[in-house]
Amino acid sequence: MKDWNEKCAVVGIYNAYNASILSYYSLFSMQHRGQEASGISSSNGEKISTYKNSGLVTKVFDENTLKKLQGNSSIGHNRYSTAGEDSIDDCQPIFAKYSLGELAIVHNGNLTNAKKVRKNLIEDGAIFQSHLDTENLIHLIAKSHKHQLVDRITDAINQIEGAYALIFLSRTKMFAVRDKYGLRPLSLGKITNPDGSVGYIVASETCAFDLIGAEYVRDVEPGEMLVFEGAYSKHITMPKSIKIFAANPKPCIFEYVYFARPDSKVFGRNVYEIRKKMGIELAKEHKIKADMVIPVPDSGVAAAIGYSRESGIPFELGIIRNHYVGRTFIEPTQSARELKVKLKLNPIAEIIEGKEIIIIDDSIVRGTTSKQIIKILRQAGAKKIHLFISSPPTISPCYYGVDTPDKSQLICANHSIEEVRDFIGADSLAFLSLQGLKNSIQNAGEEKFCQACFDENYIEDLQE
């Protein structure tokens, strides 16, 4: 599955040795959530230092840049643009000096009233340095007449709408906030320092905790602000919890389908196990005889394992992915698009030739990538190809922090399943039902998810 991009990743480290290095490793573990730019701000209790640039985490930072980011508290960000333009000014963290001191902010999500807020701020004299909706918050905080930073942040939060997982870093404190719907994930973990003292981490995914040896504590609740303080007075305590809004949880269901790393715990549940259950549900809903089940790597692997186990059809890694393909300097012609797929995915003809196969992928967006995958499998000698998708048809774009094509480019929004099957060239095409997707999520009960990409039921008060 291609053409979906969430995204960003955020991390905050508080009261931990070499905080910027821990942020670096955390961002490295969440590289899948954004590859366009990376940045870290750190505080030593007296000043905030920031470094950010375009590129992957390992390209942006080296030993020298990390040494300059001193202090035991830091925040970091991996960017994939969902709003704004691509320039160094649009990298995060956003940093500013204001009447109470210094402040840095990182944000995952999308503010649906950003244009309106920005327009009002500009008319009131604000000067913007970036295209980021996140910069609105700097101005709202700076203009607030509250005397405490926590109150200024609350004041600013009450003026924005949309999806957000936000982390704020001042010289001595850190604040983590989720919107009342909890659309974007944000988890809290505990760090044990070498001297036995305690620090904390908040991050978009718990795979960041695993890499640095942090212990998962809980998710930041929808509508909650966590206030971290005391690091520089050596009286660190559990972060204070402030309820800014009454929670109305509607977490993004697509985190389970595609975005999150399978080894992460998102919204309190393990992603790998859920994706495997999606494959099990898919096998229950769509029974067919075939010689083997093959995943589209890497996003279709867990669901293919589940399908294989439920159906009894053997699982094979019939397609090998090249993980080292970056951006290619190729003109966007049809032949170039075909070459791009071949650069990334190569079928094993010796396994596929003469066989009837079920290939599992997580979703179809435009259909062009699926079409090329079917083509290379035909060329490898597959006798019959059944493409099964471990999510429902994607029929609507997202406005809550996910970069999706316009509805006119979503193939399932404009064509029947049979028409899509004809376009991609498969012998059959099937999707997991929305109920099957919900059944896959452990202990879901009556829990409500944002699933607007599948049913067009957008959150009413978050319309753009």
Tell me, yes or no, if 450 is annotated catalytic: no
Residue 84, pLDDT score: 45
Domain ranges of the chain: 5-249, 273-441
Q: Which helix (H) or strand (E) holds 9?
A: strand 8-14
Are 366 and 409 a contacting pair, CB within 8 Å? yes
User: Hey, what amino acid is at 106?
Assistant: V
For residue 86, CA distances in Å to 106, 229, 329 come to 16, 34, 18
Overall average pLDDT of the 323-345 stretch: 64
Are 426 and 387 a contacting pair, CB within 8 Å? yes
Are 203 and 48 a contacting pair, CB within 8 Å? no
Catalytic residue, from 8, 252, 398, 412: name it: 8
Cα(136)–Cα(122) distance, rounded to whole angstroms? Answer: 10
Residue 249 preceded by cis peptide, ω within 30: no
Enter the CATH code of domain 5-249: 3.60.20.10
For 272, phi then psi, to 5°, come to: -60, -45
Predicted structure pTM score: 0.91
Cα(377)–Cα(384) distance, rounded to whole angstroms? Answer: 9
Cα(440)–Cα(279) distance, rounded to whole angstroms? Answer: 9
* pLDDT tens per residue, range 232-263: 666 778 999 999 999 999 999 999 998 899 99
Give the model's confidence band at 6: pLDDT under 50 very low, under 70 low, under 90 confident, else very high.
very low
3-7, 8-12, 16-20, 156-160: segment of lowest average pLDDT:
3-7
- Could you tell me which residue, 67 or 460, shows the higher pLDDT? 67
Q: Which of these, 85, 108, 34, lies nearest to 401 by C-alpha position? A: 108
How is domain 273-441 classified at the architecture level of CATH?
3-Layer(aba) Sandwich (3.40)
* pLDDT tens per residue, range 407-434: 988 999 999 999 999 999 999 999 999 9
Cα(145)–Cα(148) distance, rounded to whole angstroms? Answer: 9
Residue with tokens 């406005």, as numbered in its chain: 399
Residue 89, pLDDT score: 75
* pLDDT tens per residue, range 92-107: 999 999 999 999 999 9
* pLDDT tens per residue, range 173-227: 999 999 999 999 999 999 999 988 999 999 999 999 999 999 999 999 999 999 9
Instruction: Please name every residue paired with 175 in a beta bridge, in sequence order, or none if there are none.
Output: 168, 227
Q: Which of these, 331, 382, 325, lies nearest to 353 by C-alpha position? A: 382
Give the model's confidence band at 88: pLDDT under 50 very low, under 70 low, under 90 confident, else very high.
confident
Helix axes 301-311, 271-285, angle to 10 degrees: 50
Residue 299, pLDDT score: 87
For residue 368, CA distances in Å to 78, 134, 313, 322 come to 27, 33, 27, 19
Q: Which of these, 174, 176, 178, lies nearest to 221 by C-alpha position? A: 178
First to last CA, the chain: 27
Q: In the numeric block, which tokens belong to residue 274?
A: 């859920």
Q: Which of these, 181, 155, 153, lies nearest to 167 by C-alpha position? A: 153
Question: What is 248-311 written as a DSSP string?
Answer: ----BTHIIIIIS-TTSEETTEEHHHHHHHHHHHHHHH-----SEEEE-TTTTHHHHHHHHHHH
For 76, phi then psi, to 5°, come to: -145, 165
Q: Which of these, 270, 54, 51, 244, lies nearest to 164 by C-alpha position? A: 244
* pLDDT tens per residue, range 118-159: 999 999 888 898 888 899 999 999 999 999 999 999 999 999
Cα(190)–Cα(169) distance, rounded to whole angstroms? Answer: 18
For residue 409, CA distances in Å to 56, 366, 368, 413, 433 come to 28, 6, 11, 8, 22
Neighbouring C-beta atoms of residue 413, cutoff 10 Å: 17
